[in-house]
Amino acid sequence: MSNPMNTNSKLKLAIQKSGRLHDDSVRLLKECGIDISNGINKLKADATNFPIEVFFLRDDDIPQYVEDGVADIGFVGENVVFEKKKKVVVTEKLGFGKCRLSMAIQRNEQYTGIGFLQGKKIATSYPVIVSDYLKSNGVDAEIHEISGSVEIAPGIGLADAICDLVSSGSTLFMNGLKEAEIILQSQAVLIKNDGLGAGKQQLLDRLLFRIQAVKKARNNKYILLNAPNHKLKEIIGLLPGMKSPTVLPLAEEGWSSVHSVLNENEFWEIIEQLKAAGAQGILVVPIEKMII
């Protein structure tokens, strides 16, 4: 009988070895209850409590490793997936590493639309995405591929504009640039090999179950509040929880305790309405995992 924890029965996951997605990827695994230990400069690690093996790679290489089956799955930015155009399947958006790929021009210039870039020189680390975008908009421009420090290209006369990842925009500002056009919204995604076998798919389904529970918990808050009974119907009507809220009588006559779950996006507006309706002693508790 084969050992259920041998290498062939493990799911092989590739994540960024360093950079903006690394810490969040490791944190997600930990929140999923998966313990890994990767010492300094170690490029591979086994989980102690889940059949998964983690490879620490350059983010640009992850789609290729997944396409080739060296890794079964990978955590990588959507921008890299679109740029590399490998035969992989985007299976789940992970909710971290959010950024945008944008065109930027010098701050003293007036952007008049995508036609502004006609005949211009554009520096970027994403020549495939930029080329496809320009072509789809009927713009002919000269693309200069640069592996790093793209934002300095206009200042040294290498390019008229750039296309690069933007989070806050502070780097553009410091280099005399301004964001002109967003061409792609990106976040970390889970990709899988196109030909993943049934056994590995079962392991992936187990991992996805945990990831989705963590994501739901991040987007929701558990609330407890005290409500006067004559206002109970109105207060319950304000709560859009998963199902009907839990209502428990308090020791003080005429009052009840109401428990429910609120989505982060609706949270503050509903809290204000609850308070106005007579709710008191409102407690807000983070949710570690949420399984529906």
Q: What is the CATH number for 281?
A: 3.30.70.120
89, 159: one domain: no
pLDDT band at 242 (very low <50, low <70, confident <90, very high): low
70, 180: one domain: no
276, 239: one domain: yes
Is 26 a residue whose pLDDT tops 70? yes
CA angle 119, 123, 129 (to 5 degrees): 90
On the CB side of 87, CA atoms within 13 Å amount to 6
pLDDT digits (tens, 9 = 90+) for 161-199: 999 999 888 889 999 999 999 999 999 999 999 999 999
72, 104: one domain: no
* Lowest-confidence region among 2-6, 100-104, 190-194, 198-202: 2-6
158, 131: one domain: yes
264 found inside a domain: yes
15 found inside a domain: yes
181, 116: one domain: yes
* Lowest-confidence region among 2-6, 45-49, 133-137, 264-268: 2-6
Is 95 a residue whose pLDDT tops 60? yes
Nearest-angstrom CA–CA distance, 34 and 235: 39
Rounded to the nearest integer, the mean pLDDT of the chain is 91
41, 90: one domain: yes
116 found inside a domain: yes
Instruction: Please state whether beta strands 121-124 and 177-186 pair in parallel, antiparallel, or not at all (unpaired).
Output: unpaired
Averaged pLDDT, 238-261: 86
125, 241: one domain: no
Q: Pick the last residue of a domain from 186, 201, 230.
A: 186
57 found inside a domain: yes
> Looking at residue 241, what is its pLDDT?
59
pLDDT digits (tens, 9 = 90+) for 121-151: 999 999 999 999 999 999 999 999 998 889 9
Averaged pLDDT, 190-212: 96
132, 149: one domain: yes
Rounded to the nearest 10 degrees, the angle between the axes of helix 22-31 and helix 198-218 is 90
Q: How many CB atoms lie within 10 A of CB 170?
A: 9
2 found inside a domain: no
The proportion of the chain whose per-residue pLDDT surpasses 70, expressed as a percent, equals 95
pLDDT band at 253 (very low <50, low <70, confident <90, very high): very high
Is 66 a residue whose pLDDT tops 80? yes
Domain that residue 49 falls in? 7-97+187-217
CATH code of residue 114: 3.40.190.10
Beta carbons of 222 and 281 less than 8 angstroms apart:
no
What DSSP string describes 179-204?
Answer: EEEEEEEE-EEEEEETT--HHHHHHH
If one counts the domains in the chain, the total is 3
Beta carbons of 97 and 167 less than 8 angstroms apart:
no
Q: Pick the last residue of a domain from 186, 209, 237.
A: 186
pLDDT band at 40 (very low <50, low <70, confident <90, very high): low
47, 89: one domain: yes
292 found inside a domain: no
Is 265 a residue whose pLDDT tops 50? yes
Q: How many CB atoms lie within 10 A of CB 184?
A: 18
224, 239: one domain: yes
Q: Pick the last residue of a domain from 195, 217, 239.
A: 217
211, 93: one domain: yes
* Lowest-confidence region among 70-79, 81-90, 172-181, 233-242: 233-242
Residues in the chain: 292
For 166, phi and psi rounded to 5 degrees?
-130, 135
Is 7 a residue whose pLDDT tops 80? no
What DSSP string describes the chain?
Answer: ---TTSGGGSEEEEEESSSTTHHHHHHHHHHTT--B---TT--EEEBSSSSEEEEEE-GGGHHHHHHHTSSSEEEEEHHHHHHH--SEEEEEE-S-S-EEEEEEEETTS---SGGGGTT-EEEES-HHHHHHHHHHTT---EEEE-SS-GGGTTTTTS-SEEEEEESSSHHHHHTTEEEEEEEEEE-EEEEEETT--HHHHHHHHHHHHHHHHHHHHHTEEEEEEEEEGGGHHHHHHT---SSSPEEEE-SSTTEEEEEEEEETTTHHHHHHHHHHTT-EEEEEEE-S----
173 found inside a domain: yes
257 found inside a domain: yes
> Looking at residue 39, what is its pLDDT?
60
